[in-house]
Structure 1
């Protein structure tokens, strides 16, 4: 897998039936290593190591319903009070981040109501805070570090 624009992290890998798996510390299992998963695992480590979010508040790849359709979000981070503070949409490094990507996370956010959004393909990262009163994104240079 190609290097991404994150600090270097040590990951656990295993090979089985000519496929490589990476250990997901949140889901507590090995998952098939694909380009989007490579990005997702880097984001998880970034949130835990650089932003100090507790692993107990991080959720990975869960189902949600958006306009009656089943979807899966990549990463959601909760506050200690159980409210959603951050939603992350991960794409493979080969996928350009476009308005369509922001539309996707915005649709998820209609259901989830997160305070911050992050969209990344591992090479380019976009961070924003939701301004619900004015119904717009406020782009940020980074997401905040965890605080209680």
Structure 2
């Protein structure tokens, strides 16, 4: 009986020692992690400048270019951006303004392009392009009640009188 009790006590002490060692290991790893230098990313302003230059040269330079690329005039796009901002449907992110989000969306649907093509043009990942496309699509859809009038079900008199 005594040997069984001693055996249980030894096992309990071993379990306590094991738990203490495991806790110490966790603490040591946390300390090492804190001492490790953080990963810093390179400056993103170069990529942002390239995107900004593309928008300036290919889209915002003139109304003709803007209409060819986005199927809208510049004034209409900036007005739409203001509406989307006022309704809190789109907001600027650290590296993508509402104008850029809307330009990517309009360029995609205006030329029936794939997200991969838009990703290459605007130097973004496919995931980022897809996320912002869906955001812009949702934002435009939310304006439907305010700016899209359903068709009338009545036949105009001019057509009704014409046999």
Question: Does the alignment reach a TM-score above 0.5?
Answer: no
- TM-score normalised over the length of structure 1: 0.31
Q: Which has the higher strand share?
A: 1
